[in-house]
Structure 1
Amino acid sequence: MTSFRIWRTLLSLLLGLLIVVSVAASTIVQTSLPATGCIGTLCHPFDYIVTILMENKGYCQVMTTCGGSGTYETSLAQSYAIAGNCSSNSSCLPGGYTALFHPSEPNYIALVGGSNFGITDDGNCCYEIDQPNLIDRLQDRGVTWSAYAEGATGSGTCRFMPPSKANHFGFLEFKDNNETQRCTHFLTTTPPTSPDGPADDHEFLVELNSTNPSHYIWLTPNNNDNGHGSDVIVGDAYLNNLVPKILNSKLFLTQRAALFIVYDEGPRSNVFPHDFIYASWSGPVVKQNYTGVGSYSHYSYLATLEKNWGFPCLVKNNDCNASAMTEFFL
């Protein structure tokens, strides 16, 4: 009996040691993943991202450093981070961020699909493209999402329709998104210029101050606020009003959140890869007073999301080959 007890005691000690080693190994694996920033090929700079799309202005129409009139956008970019130091809408050294197509809709499709899929003009709608898109990747990984458009009708349904239809809301072009559960994430928000209901993108800001905001949030402003049908100073004033509310929201004060503001395209006289546009990052996980040196395009937006959340890329030679914008993060 004494010998049996000794062996039983030794066996218990051995099992306990194995458990300790197993737990320690699992801890090592978990802590090797970066909580923020990039370590080697591992990169997870943010947990939340808010994306705002502006319209039809080149880099030097916005940045006052080369003749633009976007005083607030320039200040924001200089306080946080901007892609490239451009001397004109077609020349950017170093780096820069270029649009892909003219007119708007092919760019919006590429931003969420990795290609324009043969669509070369505005006016296409809806649910026509039978290809994987960003929403597939978000849902496959369990990343929560919301996509807002100012002044849209049919909020939360598959009848959702922004004022510019799919021209400025590429999600509507993909067949996979024509599904009741997904459509609950297509949401309207009230523009500041609307006389109806609460103003200042109230619904959008409510989510940013909620206890459980989506990890991926998109906002398409209307054609006044985004600069499509107005001067740069109008869109700049809109962002001057909205962005401080975003950066001071509960989400941005308590979480690892990033704000990405980008224009869809510049003047039609400039073409890819020399259609340089304003693309700025801001928020608590973003470097301050930083000018990016890498070369980027709308495909880099997808590549950044793919890098951050470990998504498979969508389209060979497009987002699959694009540089992720990791240099902008702490």
Structure 2
Amino acid sequence: MTVHSPPLQDNHPPRKWFDTIMIINLENIDYGDAISHPPFSTLNYAPYNGTLLTNYRALTHPSQPNYFAQVVGDGIVTSDDIATINTRCIVDLLEEKGISWASYAEGYPDNWSDDKPYLNEHTPNGKYVRRHVPLVSITSIQENPERARNIKSGEAFQRDLQAGTLPQYIYYTPDQDNNAHDTNIRYAGQYISEFLYPFSLGFCIDFDETAFWVGKNRVATWLLGTAVNSNPLPSHLKSSQRTQSIVSLNSVKSHAPRHPPVDTSATANDSGAVQLISLLGSAFKTPIAEKGYTDKGKFDHFSILKTVEENWFLGNLGRKDVTATSFGALLHEV
């Protein structure tokens, strides 16, 4: 079954490129390794029809500052130590314009009923970690029960998906296995292939930082969805006549849809030797993805926030989102 974006309403807020955005972050994989493994190696080919951003940079190490940058527009934290931050964020701008939003996190306690979000650093099994869900750590969300209810579990995402009640702004966090943090690129690839296949939503998928803390912190990032230029508009349908969406993940234009191959032998406990062999193998071949639909524009984590702001005419947070470059040149205008 193909699941589509929620239908437009008569009072739908003005938008520039898309009706729905879904942001997905994966963890700690170097650019060359990421784009050499399926399905990442073919996300810029059909059936995904995405665009690979070949000059996208993470901001720093460790992880948490990169996540916060996407929602507050600044490196407001500098470590992975859990902290509650009293600052304006993307939610303030969204709500001022009547844009619906939610943050879904795999491993987050399902049907959490407290007035505040689940504030532990991680769940007992360690699959959910708070540092990868930045909106949980914003004071105005913690202290507002209505906002706190928009921090949801992965199971809640599936229920909202089936009910057709997904919000317009979706911040989705895979668990520590599915994001490759506690596993590897092969395991994450199998997960992404299974996760993306049913959707016509748009996505912004990237890796938060490189595995090695040296170099330019270049990370693999893709834009996917009906709003992306690499996804051709049907000749009989204008952009403004359909529900458009975006996700960040690389893809390429192709007239021969095919499903990317998935290495089903991937497991959460692959040995270090297996992972090293996989990394070395990718280093000595030209990745398929580099031959697909790509863009060399300079982007970073602030670009995600900037794109959301420009799409719904939200204004800005007055931080590094002001000077960031959005993905707008790569998207269909409505």
Is TM-score (shorter-chain normalized) higher than 0.5?
Answer: yes
**Is the 2:203–2:225 contact (alpha carbons within 8 Å) kept by the matching residues of 1?**
yes
Task: State the 1:146 CA deviation.
Answer: 1.4
Match of residue 261, structure 1, among 199, 205, 216:
205
1:102: Cα distance to partner?
0.6
User: Aligned residue for 2:280?
Assistant: none
Superposed CA offset, 1:87-120 (max 9, x none):
xxxxxxxxx1110111111111111111122x21
SS of residue paired to 1:77: coil
Instruction: Check if 1:159 corresponds to 2:117.
Output: yes
Q: Does 1:59 align with 2:18?
A: no
Partner of 2:74: 115
Which runs of structure 2 are paired with 1:1-330 in the superposition (5 Å)? 44-64=16-36, 70-79=37-46, 80-85=49-54, 96-117=55-76, 119-125=77-83, 128-153=84-109, 155=112, 157=114, 158-161=116-119, 163=123, 164-178=128-142, 179-190=144-155, 203-245=156-198, 247=199, 252=200, 257-270=201-214, 274-288=216-230, 289=252, 290-316=293-319, 318-330=320-332
Instruction: Give a deviation string over 1:218-246, Cα, whole Å, max 9, x none.
Output: 2111100000011100000000111002x
State the shift of 1:156 in Å.
5.5
Q: Which runs of 5+ in 1 are unaligned?
A: 1-34, 36-41, 65-69, 86-95, 191-202
Paired residue type of 2:163? S
Q: Deviations over 1:243-270 (max 9, x none)?
A: 002x2xxxx3xxxx42111111112433
Q: 1:187 is paired with a residue of what secondary structure?
A: strand
Per-residue deviation, residues 182-212 of structure 1 (Å, max 9, x unmatched): 011111124xxxxxxxxxxxx3233233233
Structure 1 pair 319/83, CA: closer, same or farther in 2 (3 Å)? farther
Equivalent-residue separation in structure 1 for 2:98 and 2:166 (angstroms): 14
CA contact (8 A) 1:314 1:320 kept: yes
Structure 1 moving runs of 4+ over 6 Å: none
Q: What SS does structure 2 have at the residue aligned with 1:78?
A: coil
2 CA distance for matches of 1:294 and 1:99?
14
Q: Given that residues 112 and 171 in structure 1 are in contact (C-alpha distance below 8 angstroms), is that contact kept between their aligned partners in structure 2?
A: yes
| Cα offset, 1:73, TM superposition | 1.6
CA RMSD of aligned residues (A): 2.1
Identity of aligned residues (%): 24
RCO higher in structure (CA 8 A, sep ≥6) = 2
Aligned length: 248
Conservation of the 8 A alpha-carbon contact between 1:103 and 1:121: yes
Deviations 1:139-194 (A, max 9, x none): 1111001111111126354132554443101112211111101011111124xxxx
Instruction: Tell me the amino acid that sits aligned with residue 141 of structure 1.
Output: K
- Check conservation: 2:157, 2:166, Cα contact below 8 A: no
Question: Retained in 2: the 8 A contact 1:83–1:97?
Answer: no
Question: Match of 2:288?
Answer: none
Supply the AA of the counterpart residue of 1:222: D
TM-fit CA distance, 1:52: 1.2
Is the alpha carbon distance of 1:296 and 1:238 closer, same or farther for their aligned partners in structure 2, counting shifts above 3 Å? same
Secondary structure of 1:147 counterpart: strand
Larger strand fraction of residues: 1
Identify the structure with the greater helix proportion: 1
Letter aligned with residue 170 of structure 1: P
Distance between the aligned counterparts of 1:156 and 1:306, measured in 2?
31
Rounded to whole Å, the distance in 1 between the matches of 2:51 and 2:194 is 20
- 2: CA distance between counterparts of 1:83 and 1:315? 28
Residue 81 of structure 1 contacts residue 328 of structure 1 at CA under 8 Å; is this kept in 2? no
Which one-letter code corresponds to 1:152 in the other structure?
Y
Q: Do the aligned partners of 1:300 and 1:325 also contact (CA within 8 Å) in 2?
A: yes
